[in-house]
A and B are shown apart, each in its own frame.
Chain A
Amino acid sequence: MASTVSAASGPALEIRNVSKHFGVVKALSGVDFTLERGEIHALCGENGAGKSTLMNIIAGVLQPSEGEIRVDGTVVRIASPATAQKLGIGLVHQEIALCPDVTVAENMFMAATSLRKAPLMNYRELNRRAQDIMHRLAPIPVDAKVSTLSISNQQLVEIAKALTLDCRVLIFDEPTAALTEAEAKVLFGIIRDLRAQGISIIYISHRMAEIFSLCDRVTVFRDGRYVSTDRIKDVDADYVVRRMVGREITQLYPPKLAGAPGDVILSVCDLGDGARFSKISFEVRKGEILGIGGLIGAGRTEIAEGICGLRPVTTGGVLLHGVPQKIGSYADAVKSGIVYLSEDRKGSGVFLDLSIAKNISALDLKRLTTAFGLLNARAEADLARDFTRKLGVRMGGIDYPVSSLSGGNQQKVAIAKQLSVNPKVILMDEPTRGIDVGAKSEIHRLLRELAETGIGIVVISSELPELLGLCDRVAVIREGHIAGELTGEDMSEENVMRLASGVTMETADNERRASAHV
């Protein structure tokens, strides 16, 4: 129970001089980390800095090569996730690890069930306790199968799962990556409640705004080493970012388009699929980046899929440079010059086990095919070398599997795949989700350069700062319709949220406050 936190003084968790090697690779070199009782402690660092490795050590998934861990002042060996649970350490995974075919309640109590001694399940009790926890988070029915939930709701179940354990230390590894702003705000309320109950929280995130509104202290790692720990109120976002990258990032977003955009590249007219979206019309002009905003589940991804033939449409159509396109399948779209970058990088963006070269060539094998239907291996390798260099993919070589790359570089490979077919329009769904600050700004710069070369760029993003910082114009989707378009001065977080939720911000705030404290 949260209320049984012992009254002993001193930190809840201490990491002393912990190192972790994987073969010759050093993921962590002698790092220190101290988590005080009842604080929210942010852990920052680029991908590859060692945050996840340390969290996996604390949660018993990995064993440290050297160093010691103290819980409540006692040196402990956390041999397995079960040991971690017994010590009161819970981890909310960055990646969803749920059983899709059982109910929300059963998933929530998966860990708790394994600790219980009783031989039989009491489903009535299970559902009641699940409901108690879930109603604070979101209106998700606890008897629904997880496979029927959206990604963001699954993420919320993952969070609810951790709340079922009697944790004294709770680790959140990028919990908001798949959440909308509104859902994230509810989550923050809950995290603050947990802190008030004396629970110590480690919060990992790439989003500075979250860290500064939520956390008490911030520790930065870089390249597997400890860099610094500061009180949030003593520092600013610039400082933290500088510590993370070890260099100045002078400008977070590339400069926007100066002057008026050029000719229309893509026009979408009255597109509808008879279910998820209808009457979608917009244009993308040369040189501009069009943003598409809205809540998760509003139909943004579905619209993009409709445009590029991944989802059948019933009304409307797509024009490129004023010429109507016949798009019946994704292959048709690629042929016309419209490509789509999926929001689910690992699920449908890349082939993790295949080489970088094979990933980049996958979108159009025909151009690499010689007589007799054989692949031209040299052309494939040249293509891969060319695009990995252009995009600055940091890798061992083009024949390394994509799984050997960091998230940011995997994403660059996914983008390279799209660019390699010389597209006219790229639809990008959450292009920087789960990517570290450095790679993120590289991708933003790249998108701006592509727009300047005359490729039509459409960016779907749930991250408002990205949407507003990167795009020249934003179309906001609500329940399958375009609720409005914002340009210039009107582009503000408040206006996007207003259009996305269909209510004024004040009421939305009140509702959220109400639902967070039922």
Chain B
Amino acid sequence: MSEKDKGETKMAVDTMAGGGERVSSWRRLGSMREAGLIAIILALCVIMTFASPHFLTLGNFRAMLMSFSVEGIVVVGMTVLLIVGGIDLAVGSVVCFAMVFAGSLFLLGLDPWSASLLGILASAAIGAIMGFFVTVVGLNHFITSLAAMVIVRGLCLIITKGTPLSLFTMPPEFKAVGQGTFYGVPYVILIFIAVVVVFDFLLRRATAFRKVFYTGSNEKAAQYSGIKTKQVKFWVTVMCSTLSGVAGVIYMSRFGAATPTFGVGMELNIIAAAVIGGASLNGGSGTILGAILGIALLSVVASSLILLDVSVYWQDMIKGCILLAAVSIDHFLHKRKA
């Protein structure tokens, strides 16, 4: 029967983060999204090495890695949120909010570490409020976070009265977080790698994160398995905002300033990266590694366009086309005869 056939043709394409499943065949590995993305990124790198003498340099690679490291932390949160079946359009605003909130506290005389911690907690609180509207009031993630995006951006403008905060008086130990290096490797990159490794591991192995997959795959079946799906959705929403807050204070340390318009449009880049990396907007699937490769791809493309002297006006259009292409290819590869 057709049902069975669907499965037979589909069996090789389980891209889910497979906790305890020992992957049984190379064929499955070959069809994994991550492998495809790595191939595309490598191919792009090879082409660019020939196309531009400045591409294959340590400086350029460090710049590229720096450019997506902080956003990468937000991508991690967004990926988990997409897996649970949610979405957060407010991440750009929350990143900015953490930045200006912590920055203002610092200017009021608080030490930058405590100010940063409060900035992150305030971001978590925004996540909790969104989570409340999603799980208790019963609005969907899209509308709730759309409203939050606008409200939180407004808060940023109110706090700063519309002008950037200059934070050059921050102590050097704090600036080191965003600007310093450890044996030549920027702290930012180390923090990013730590977040990725921890969350990738948790998502594959932790019981709490398994519930995220159950809830996103079939919320009703999860409820009928005794999983408190509202709690799961609430905490994932909080987590996503918290990671945005972390990214915000790292940006503050890195720039030595807090701009109330920072991060406008960031959410689209973040969502695009997660989706290119295999997260489904329908929930239930996605991997951290894939999402990180997604944002790496976008970053390599951006860097290439600059090195090739492509007008900045073209860059957004090209990014959009890549998103469309990635999702279309995926759709054909994983086509479900629903």
- Please list the residues of chain A having a beta carbon within 8 angstroms of any beta carbon in chain B: 22-23, 25, 27, 47-53, 56, 62, 310, 329-331, 333-334, 340, 342, 344, 347-355, 357-358, 362-366, 368-369, 373-378, 380-381, 396-401, 403-407, 417
The verdict on B62 contacting chain A, using a C-beta distance below 8 Å, is: no
Partner of B3, one of A329, A362, A407: A407
Report the bound CA distance from A239 to B221 in whole Å: 39
Residues of B close to A23: CB separation below 8 A: 8-9
Residues of A close to B227: CB separation below 8 A: 331, 362
**Which 4 pairs of residues, A with B, have the shortest CB-CB distance?**
A377-B20, A404-B7, A331-B226, A22-B5
Contact across chains for A355 and B21 when beta carbons are under 8 A apart: yes
Instruction: Give B239-258 interface residues, CB cut-off 8 Å to A.
Output: none
Partner of A330, one of B20, B23, B226: B226
Contact across chains for A403 and B10 when beta carbons are under 8 A apart: yes
Central interface residue in B7, B213, B217, by most chain A CB within 10 Å: B7
Residues of A close to B218: CB separation below 8 A: 347-348, 350-353
Report the bound CA distance from A378 to B8 in whole Å: 25
Residues of A close to B24: CB separation below 8 A: 397, 399
- Report the nearest A residue to B21, measured CB to CB: A399
- Report the nearest B residue to A333, measured CB to CB: B226
Known: A362-B225, A365-B211. A353 touches B284 (CB 8 A): yes
Report the bound CA distance from A299 to B213 in whole Å: 32
8 pairs, A vs B, C-beta closer than 8 Å: A47-B3, A330-B226, A344-B220, A351-B217, A353-B217, A381-B22, A404-B4, A405-B7
Distance of A20 from chain B, by nearest CB (Å): 9
Partner of A331, one of B23, B220, B228: B228
- Report the nearest B residue to A382, measured CB to CB: B20
- Report the nearest A residue to B226, measured CB to CB: A331
Contact across chains for B207 and A48 when beta carbons are under 8 A apart: no
Known: A330-B223, A331-B226, A405-B7. A358 touches B1 (CB 8 A): no
Cβ contacts B1-38/A at 8 Å (1 or 0 each): 11111111111001010111111100000000000000
> Could you list 15 further interchain pairs (A-B, Cβ under 8 angstroms) beyond the known A354-B16, A355-B16?
A25-B4, A49-B1, A52-B1, A62-B2, A331-B228, A351-B217, A351-B221, A352-B217, A354-B284, A362-B214, A380-B19, A381-B20, A399-B18, A401-B14, A404-B8
Report the bound CA distance from A377 to B214 in whole Å: 16
Residues of A close to B5: CB separation below 8 A: 22, 25, 27, 53
The verdict on B208 contacting chain A, using a C-beta distance below 8 Å, is: yes
Report the bound CA distance from A336 to B23 in whole Å: 36
Partner of B225, one of A56, A344, A363, A377: A363
Residues of B close to A50: CB separation below 8 A: 1
Distance of B3 from chain A, by nearest CB (Å): 6
Interface size on B, residues (CB 8 A): 41
Known: A348-B218, A362-B222. A354 touches B213 (CB 8 A): yes
The verdict on B210 contacting chain A, using a C-beta distance below 8 Å, is: yes
- Report the nearest A residue to B220, measured CB to CB: A348
Residues of A close to B221: CB separation below 8 A: 342, 347-351, 362
- Report the nearest B residue to A355, measured CB to CB: B21
- Report the nearest A residue to B211, measured CB to CB: A365
Report the bound CA distance from A310 to B228 in whole Å: 11
- Report the nearest A residue to B215, measured CB to CB: A351
- Report the nearest B residue to A49, measured CB to CB: B1
Distance of B335 from chain A, by nearest CB (Å): 12
Contact across chains for A48 and B4 when beta carbons are under 8 A apart: yes
Partner of A399, one of B6, B14, B214, B225: B14
Residues of A close to B225: CB separation below 8 A: 330, 362-363, 417
Contact across chains for B223 and A53 when beta carbons are under 8 A apart: no
Report the bound CA distance from A62 to B6 in whole Å: 13
The verdict on B224 contacting chain A, using a C-beta distance below 8 Å, is: yes
Contact across chains for A374 and B207 when beta carbons are under 8 A apart: yes
Residues of B close to A350: CB separation below 8 A: 218, 221
Residues of B close to A56: CB separation below 8 A: 2
Residues of A close to B223: CB separation below 8 A: 310, 330, 348
Known: A330-B224, A377-B20, A417-B225. A365 touches B207 (CB 8 A): yes
Contact across chains for B2 and A52 when beta carbons are under 8 A apart: yes
Contact across chains for A365 and B210 when beta carbons are under 8 A apart: yes
Report the bound CA distance from A364 to B210 in whole Å: 12
Distance of B302 from chain A, by nearest CB (Å): 33
Partner of A25, one of B8, B22, B205, B210: B8
Contact across chains for A358 and B3 when beta carbons are under 8 A apart: no
Distance of B57 from chain A, by nearest CB (Å): 41
Known: A329-B226, A334-B226, A417-B225. A48 touches B20 (CB 8 A): no
Residues of B close to A351: CB separation below 8 A: 214, 217-218, 221-222, 284
Contact across chains for A358 and B205 when beta carbons are under 8 A apart: no
Contact across chains for A342 and B1 when beta carbons are under 8 A apart: no
Report the bound CA distance from A398 to B14 in whole Å: 12
- Report the nearest B residue to A50, measured CB to CB: B1
Distance of B9 from chain A, by nearest CB (Å): 5
The verdict on B299 contacting chain A, using a C-beta distance below 8 Å, is: no
The verdict on B259 contacting chain A, using a C-beta distance below 8 Å, is: no
The verdict on B237 contacting chain A, using a C-beta distance below 8 Å, is: no
Residues of B close to A358: CB separation below 8 A: 19, 210, 213-214
Report the bound CA distance from A467 to B9 in whole Å: 37
